[in-house]
A and B are shown apart, each in its own frame.
Chain A
Amino acid sequence: MTRQKRSHHKLKRAVAPYLYLSPSLLIIGLLMLLPMVTVIAYSFQNSAVLRRDPSFAGLKHYQAIFDDPVFWASLWHTLYFTCMSVVFHMTIGMIFALMLNSDRINPMLRNILRVLYILPWLFTAVIIAVIWRLLLEPNGVVNSILMQIGIIGSKVEWFSSPETALHAVTFANIWAGYPLFMVSLLAGLQGIPKDFYEAADIDGAKAYQKLIFITIPMLMPIIISISLLDFIWTMQVFPLIWITTGGGPIYSTEVLSTYTYKLAFSSYNLSQASASAVVILLISLGLTLFYIRYQKAR
């Protein structure tokens, strides 16, 4: 190669990665970063989107949101819904993974059960919502079974009474989400070296001691990273709640996403909705920074 050719080649090599990345960066930049800037701008404008020359509103819309008791109720419901979901996703996922990993069950049974236990994962949120509405209908099968065995005395309107609605949607979400933990933990369990357990056996360790001192510490990285991701994603849940209760009755299941959606597309108060969307973004970003730091530290 001549020197000119070689430097030409070098230049190509230097530019190439940017060319390969350009379509992705263009899409992410124009359709993700720019809209994020836009929504922040909207939150400081009066009648954003609806007027061509919106006036500057300062922090007015943030003030309005923080003065709104429904916002604080939504924040609390989101927190309850999310924490309960993550804790139970983890617990159920862990129990199922440990059971499936036991050498006391027949390998064929194990494979069949593994497929069946994953089932809830294969259904989209809307379908999960519809299934649980059918199951929890006042005249539905759950009430009928619970009355038969005497747990409840009369028909409960799970999704339409303010006392039970939040618990009911949380339960449906717990059912829908544990397989991510189960699958990840099962993969993690299979990665723990067998010698650890053999060494513990020689020392006469009991089953629960092996669980506490070997299994759980070895699975900790997976537990923490999935919990964080699950927390971030569950906080953003919209369709499940939208279809089962729509945030009602009397705001008892209103979460940040339904609260924001209603502000934007029922009241057409897009400025205030933007302020609320920015609050959600900030919470998510905080958690994401935490997640990325944790991933890098590993």
Chain B
Amino acid sequence: MRKRHTPKDRLITVALHVALAAGLFFAAFPIYWMLSSSFKSNTEIFALPPTILPKAFTLEAYAAILGDPVKLRFFFNSYFVAGAVTVLTVLIALMAAYGFSRFNFRGKGSLNTLIISTQTIPPITLLIPFFGLVVSYGIFDTYVALILTYLVFTLPYAILLMTGYLNTLPRDLDEAVAVDGGTSWTALWRVIVPISLPGIVATAVYTFLLCWNEFLFALTLTKSTSMRTVPIGIQLLMGQHAFEWNQMMAMSVLGSLPLLLIYLVAQRYFLAGMTAGSVK
């Protein structure tokens, strides 16, 4: 065991805690500043010297955002698109993962490699052909355009994540269904799905996150204000009144809430989803 009574040892412990505090400042100060600015008036944000805590605490910025139907629509759009893509991704990925996990078939290895490599395709490369396709099929500026394009980016990762999870489940379970004369389809929905909930939640969390954060396609494939999502809404807010910083910060706080809540409630699934592809 380590001796911890020498002065040198105590010095190291103190230095470590100082470094931890510095790290905390680096990591958290920008976020604290967003939060505290969202409760300030716009004049106080640039007060000299800066006020660490809001001197005149006000909810005016939040009232301005939540009282504006145009901005509420941004939130609705983000929730709707992210929700729809999450449901579709989980269903489709579950089936593909079941195929990968429970069957041996010709081309399995190359399909798997294909799916791994699609994860790194640059979005900007697909943007131009998508724009061409979306315009020629007449779905420019619609939910369908966003949902279809997001699916392409969420599916590969979701398939890998789900396959990894299904591989950890014993095969005897679905083989029992086959012995009883059931099809693999019944096995999937009756046996596999109920015990795969942790994997499904991790996949859903990751998918939702990806959609909630998406910017490039929402920027290019929608045009009317009523079709814009939260990230674009924040950018629009910056263009409209360049100096309403408190509203921009309030909108950023509101726009971060879903991810913060998911993280606090389901930290384990969140981290599983975010790191699975890179660690395994």
Contacts and interface: CB of A to CB of B under 8 A. Distances in A.
Interface of A: 12-14, 16-21, 23-25, 27-28, 31-32, 34-36, 38-39, 42, 48-49, 95-96, 99, 102-105, 109, 113, 115-127, 130-135, 137, 139-141, 144-145, 148, 175, 180, 183-184, 187-188, 222, 225-226, 229, 232-233, 235-236, 238-239, 242-243, 256-257, 260-261, 264-265, 270, 273-274, 277-278, 280-281, 284-285, 287-289, 291-292, 295
Nearest to B24: A116
Contacts of B118: 28, 32
Contact of B45 (A134, A285, A291): A134
A239 B124 contact: no
A265 B220 contact: yes
B117 A292 contact: yes
A118 B275 CA distance: 13
B113 to A, nearest CB: 6
Interface stretch (B14-22, B65-73, B195-203): B14-22
B75 to A, nearest CB: 14
Nearest to A289: B117
B28 A42 contact: no
Contacts of B184: 13, 16
Contacts of A20: 95-96, 98-99, 103
B37 interface: yes
A238 B216 contact: yes
A187 B23 CA distance: 19
Interface residues on B, range: 35 or more
A273 B122 CA distance: 14
B96 A131 contact: no
A122 B152 contact: no
Contact of A292 (B93, B113, B123): B113
Contacts of A32: 118, 121, 126, 152
B126 A134 contact: no
Interface centre among A27, A242, A273 (most CB of B within 10 A): A27
Contacts of B24: 113, 116-117
A274 B279 CA distance: 33
B16 A126 contact: no
Nearest to A19: B99
Given A120-B27, A130-B249, A277-B124, 4 more contacts: A13-B184, A14-B105, A23-B92, A113-B23
A260 B128 CA distance: 10
